[in-house]
């Protein structure tokens, strides 16, 4: 009689470790492409954000609490709208978060489009878009996180952040998250702020109702 051998399986911790490693590698590749064309940089940033979303979903599963991506929203910070971190809620529906990952920096010249055109330090208009005109459908599903609700580690200064409107949760928990979109754009930083003036040069991801990232490379793909 033949005895079936048990097949080794990956543990959740091992899978999360691999995901985190992949996120770091994607970030490194993005930095390596910073000096490339805007289109290449935008594509690299798109992959970075998709990987970070997968890692955030893994953190939600590991901690059995909501997790989300946050973006530096302090215009005085040199990484304004380019630095992204994963945060996890300290307790269910507490509205308080701790930073669970090192910040990832998007390629030079690529910025997260904020969720409102009124964010201080973000200027919409110029070149291909008249002043103040930017399609509302091409804004990210991000909102300002209340001051003091994110507890940074000692090496991180407290600051202002934008966070996902619908945080991600572990599968099976109430409020599965998803439905958000994170829009990336080629933009330029000046003394007046970050200038968003090319509404056709955007890309990014949308999240399904299950929190799965869907890559969108065509600007019209956000018009829903």
pLDDT in tens, 7-48: 455 565 545 555 555 554 455 454 544 445 888 999 999 999
**How many domains does the chain contain in total?**
1
pLDDT beyond 80 at 179: no
The verdict on residue 66 lying in a domain is yes
Q: What is the mean pLDDT of residues 71-91?
A: 95
Per DSSP (E only), the strands in 106-192 are 110-112, 122-124, 142-144, 150-151, 161-164, 181-186, 188-190
Which of 35-41's residues contact partners 24+ apart within 8 Å by CB, and which partners? 35/108, 36/107, 38/109, 38/110, 38/186, 38/201, 41/107, 41/108, 41/109, 41/110, 41/186
pLDDT beyond 70 at 87: yes
The verdict on residue 2 lying in a domain is no
The verdict on residue 6 lying in a domain is no
The verdict on residue 46 lying in a domain is yes
Residue 125: predicted pLDDT: 80
The verdict on residue 175 lying in a domain is yes
- The residue ranking higher by pLDDT, 142 or 212, is 142
* Mean model confidence pLDDT for the chain: 82
The verdict on residue 3 lying in a domain is no
The verdict on residue 153 lying in a domain is yes
The verdict on residue 1 lying in a domain is no
Whether this model's pTM surpasses 0.85: no
Range of the domain at 114: 12-222
């Amino acid at each position: 009689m033949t005895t079936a051998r048990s097949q080794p399986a990956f543990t959740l911790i091992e899978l999360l470790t691999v995901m985190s490693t992949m996120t770091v590698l994607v970030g490194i590749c993005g930095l390596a492409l910073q000096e490339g064309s805007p289109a290449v940089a935008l594509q690299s940033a798109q992959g970075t954000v998709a990987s970070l979303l997968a890692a955030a979903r893994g953190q939600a599963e590991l901690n059995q609490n909501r997790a989300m991506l946050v973006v530096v929203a302090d215009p005085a910070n040199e990484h304004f709208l380019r630095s992204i971190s994963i945060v996890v809620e300290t307790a269910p529906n507490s509205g308080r978060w701790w930073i669970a990952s090192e910040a990832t920096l998007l390629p030079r010249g690529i910025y997260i489009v904020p969720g409102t055109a009124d964010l201080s330090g973000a200027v919409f208009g110029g070149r291909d878009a008249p002043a103040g005109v930017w399609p509302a459908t091409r804004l990210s599903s991000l909102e300002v996180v209340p001051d003091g609700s994110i507890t940074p580690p000692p090496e991180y200064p407290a600051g202002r952040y934008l966070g996902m409107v619908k945080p991600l949760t572990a599968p099976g928990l109430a409020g599965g998250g998803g439905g958000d979109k994170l829009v990336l754009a080629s933009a330029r930083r000046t003394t007046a702020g970050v200038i968003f003036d090319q509404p056709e040069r955007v890309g990014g991801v949308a999240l399904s109702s299950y929190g799965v990232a869907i890559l969108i490379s065509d600007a019209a793909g956000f018009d829903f």
